[in-house]
Amino acid sequence: MKSISFFVFFIIFFTLECTMEQGVLNLLPDKKDLSGWEESERRVLSTVQEMSDYMNGGAELYFAYNFSQLGLKKFINEDNLEIVIELYEMKDNECAYGVLSFDLSGKRIDIGTIGIYDLGLLRFWKGKYFCRILMWQGFGDNEETIFKIGKIIEKNIGHSEDEIPELVNLLPSGGLVENSIHYFFHNNPLNNFYYISNENIFNLGEDAKAVIANYEQKDSGKFYLMIIRYKDEIKGFEAYKKFLNFYFNQDISGQNKINDSRFIRKTKGEDFTGIDLRDNYLILVFEAKNKSVCINYLNETFNKIKKIIH
Amino acid sequence: MKINKTSVTRRDFLKGTALAGVGLTFGLNKVWSVVSLQGEGGERSKVVIGKSEKIMDEENRVNQKVMDTLLDEVIKKYTQKKDVNSAWREFFSSKDVVGIKVCDQMTRTHNELVISIVKNLKSIGIPDDKIIIFERGRGGFGEKGIFNRRESFGYSSNSISKVITENATALINVPGTKAHWLSGIGVCLKNWCGAVTRINVRDIDVAFVIHKNSCEDMGLLSFSPDIKNKLRLNIVDALRPLAHGGPQVDPRYLWQNKEIIVSTDQVAIDAVCLQKIQEKRREIKGGDWTLYPPPLHIAAAQNKYKLGIADLKRIDIERVIV
């Protein structure tokens, strides 16, 4: 009797697993939706190995944003043109936004919560999904098909209350370079936006999420601003001390608190770097041309943080 | 807080992390370049770049005839032979079994380049069944293998493709050219990732630990005797490289470069491609667009694994225009 129960449980569990995996494919269009196009491939990828086989090291980008599974379909038409449809299911909405924010540049299009299209590639975020629809060749005559696919997927995903992560809204707006915002919580993405170290010196992770953006001002040139929100003040202070030690050779490891956490330094022959800590928020300015830029942007970010803390 | 007057630059900081140890420098114009830790003397390498404006049309279709001619001219220039067959015989004999490692993922090797290579191997007496075009554990033979690579070869106990360990006596490395989000760029050295199994980006339970520190130890794969001793030639598909965000392709960052690049030194080719990609990035943005993460693996391939020359001052670049 025991073994029969186990068998039934196993069958139910296995069936549920398969259904959940195939579910992501159900959000993608079928042949009947796309006249003149034949489905040439369909599969679901979820393991590290499957993803690595599909895109080598590119897979880690998705794992850095809590990837669950990828629904993949390819369609071919009589001219041998191919459309590749990838629907990435992430852990939650902010993870899907994070993946999209790897590169927000491009023409905005009204598909998904944020949709971007250029030269045969449509990318959009909706709910916990990030979608890529790509035509390598012949996209000029097939853009309507690409958009149609996008709209079908958007509709199949259904209603979603999407909001840009709160951290992003803490970025000062003056001088913010359009579409330069990146949201992340892993060192690998950070290393693509602004390389500091291969070591995770900011202790980034699920409890330490971050945003970085480019700024440009007529008089002050280009610079970067990064905000990291830690689980609590203690974690924030640990990261603060670690950064000071790594970046500025300032060892304050023995201290449990600091009265004035603002630290602005002109690096030799280069630009200004500024860091400050407020509650559980760490704020950094990199490559500022003058000290006042650091001061102004640290202050402005603090004021924004103050509003949500108090 | 009082500011300590000891000044450290970001460049110093970068050097202090890992860059200096492998000989990668971050220049004032914010581009990466490799230096030789033992100085500028010693061995030199040669790279031949072949370019043809006619090789690709506006729809990115490759002209086979132009490809054939371009490859002929590049190989002749590299070997300084007047006759194409003699040039290919510098690397291969009719007794060889040649494994051609292509790239099937994302920025794929163009079939037209592989067709040209196979034609040349056949013309020096290597039959179809002694030419294996492969990616990972799968491949195909000769002309048919260019389009159909479903035959399973599997992997040896050391996790390297059996095409390399058991079948081929000689290897040709034929990668695409791309910026890569984990390693800076991915060209020759990185292409061998697709010739092994049991690797993953987290380096957990793997046969080769290659992904840490921006893939600094990518040269470990080529350092394996199975690859190192059989690799005879590298022919890089730089027809339409990817300047940003690879390996996944965003067409905005692809450009028609219309080149193929040949050398026996895969490290030298990677160094040349690094320069090329950085130049393109500056062109796209109209100024600084630093390539992140730093491509540590190219410097490490030269200075740590001694696989070739990455210092551009020690690379002779010759050009062929068709």
Chunked mean pLDDT (size 10), chain B, 322 residues: 49 64 83 84 92 94 97 98 98 98 91 98 98 95 95 96 98 98 96 92 89 94 97 98 94 96 98 97 91 95 96 97 98
Q: List the structure tokens of A164.
A: 């840009």
| Nearest residue to B278 (alpha-carbon basis) of B268, B287, B286, B290 | B290
* Count of structural domains within chain B: 1
For an interface test with A, the pick among B180, B218, B248 (most A C-beta atoms closer than 10 Å) comes out as: B248
DSSP-derived letter for residue B76 is H
Q: Do A102 and B245 touch (CB under 8 A)?
A: yes
A63 at interface of B, judged by CB pairs closer than 8 A: yes
Cβ contacts of B252 on chain A, cutoff 8 Å? 106, 118-119, 121
Domain for residue B3, yes or no? Answer: no
Q: How far is B83 from chain A (nearest CA, A)?
A: 37
Cβ contact B30:B306 at 8 Å: no
pLDDT computed for residue A57 by the predictor: 82
Cβ contacts of A240 on chain B, cutoff 8 Å? none
- Among B4, B202, B293, the residue with its CB nearest the CB of A192 is B293
DSSP bridge pairs for B141: B132
- Among A48, A103, A265, the residue with its CB nearest the CB of B3 is A265
Separation of first and last alpha carbons in chain A = 61
The string of pLDDT tens digits covering residues A206-265 is 999 999 999 998 888 899 999 999 999 999 999 999 999 888 888 898 888 888 999 999
Q: How far is A112 from chain B (nearest CA, A)?
A: 19
Residue A224 and residue A271: Cα distance in Å, rounded?
A: 11
Amino acid at A223: F
Cβ contacts of A193 on chain B, cutoff 8 Å? 292
pLDDT computed for residue B21 by the predictor: 81
Cβ contact B231:B225 at 8 Å: no
Q: List the structure tokens of B76.
A: 């002749």
pLDDT computed for residue B14 by the predictor: 64
- Among A59, A263, A267, the residue with its CB nearest the CB of B1 is A263
A199 at interface of B, judged by CB pairs closer than 8 A: yes
Neighbours of B73 (CB within 10 A): 18
Q: How far is A192 from chain B (nearest CA, A)?
A: 5
Q: In the A/B pair of chains, how many CB contacts fall below 8 A?
A: 128
Domain for residue B4, yes or no? Answer: no
Q: Is B27 exposed, middle or buried (0-12, 13-18, 19+ CB in 10 A)?
A: exposed
Give the chain B residue whose CA is nearest to the CA of A270: B9
Peptide bond between residue B294 and the one before it cis (omega within 30 degrees of 0): no
Domain for residue B1, yes or no? Answer: no
Residue A142 and residue A18: Cα distance in Å, rounded?
A: 33
Cα B191 → chain centroid? 6
B8 at interface of A, judged by CB pairs closer than 8 A: yes
Backbone angles phi, psi at A156, to 5 degrees: -65, -30
Per-residue pLDDT band at A3 (split at 50, 70, 90)? low
Q: Is residue A247 within a helix (H) or strand (E), and if so which, with residue range?
A: helix A233-248
Q: List the structure tokens of B61.
A: 């279709």
Cβ contact A242:A197 at 8 Å: no
Residue B200 and residue B207: Cα distance in Å, rounded?
A: 9
Residue A234 and residue A265: Cα distance in Å, rounded?
A: 24
B1 at interface of A, judged by CB pairs closer than 8 A: yes
Q: Check pLDDT > 60 for residue A51.
A: yes
Cα A282 → chain centroid? 19
Q: How far is A18 from chain B (nearest CA, A)?
A: 25
B59 at interface of A, judged by CB pairs closer than 8 A: yes
Residue B231 and residue B219: Cα distance in Å, rounded?
A: 13
Cα A201 → chain centroid? 19
Cβ-count burial A42-51 (b if 16+ within 10 Å, e if not) = eebbbebeeb
A192 at interface of B, judged by CB pairs closer than 8 A: yes
Q: Do B200 and A247 touch (CB under 8 A)?
A: no
Mean pLDDT (chain A, rounded)? 91
Residues spanned by the domain of B179: 10-321
Residue B101 and residue B164: Cα distance in Å, rounded?
A: 9
Q: List the structure tokens of B51.
A: 């370019």
pLDDT computed for residue A7 by the predictor: 57
Give the chain B residue whose CA is nearest to the CA of A120: B251
Domain for residue B5, yes or no? Answer: no
For domain A24-157, the CATH superfamily is PknH-like extracellular domain (3.40.1000.70)
For domain A166-309, the CATH superfamily is TM1622-like (3.40.1000.20)
A117 at interface of B, judged by CB pairs closer than 8 A: no
Q: Check pLDDT > 60 for residue A20.
A: no
pLDDT computed for residue B1 by the predictor: 47
Per-residue pLDDT band at A149 (split at 50, 70, 90)? very high
Cβ contacts of B194 on chain A, cutoff 8 Å? 56
B205 at interface of A, judged by CB pairs closer than 8 A: no
Domain for residue B2, yes or no? Answer: no
- Among A103, A188, A260, the residue with its CB nearest the CB of B250 is A103
Q: Where in chain A is the domain with CATH 3.40.1000.70?
A: 24-157
Sheet of A114-118, strands arranged across = A37-45, A67-77, A82-90, A129-135, A121-126, A114-118, A107-109
- Among B6, B201, B249, the residue with its CB nearest the CB of A57 is B201
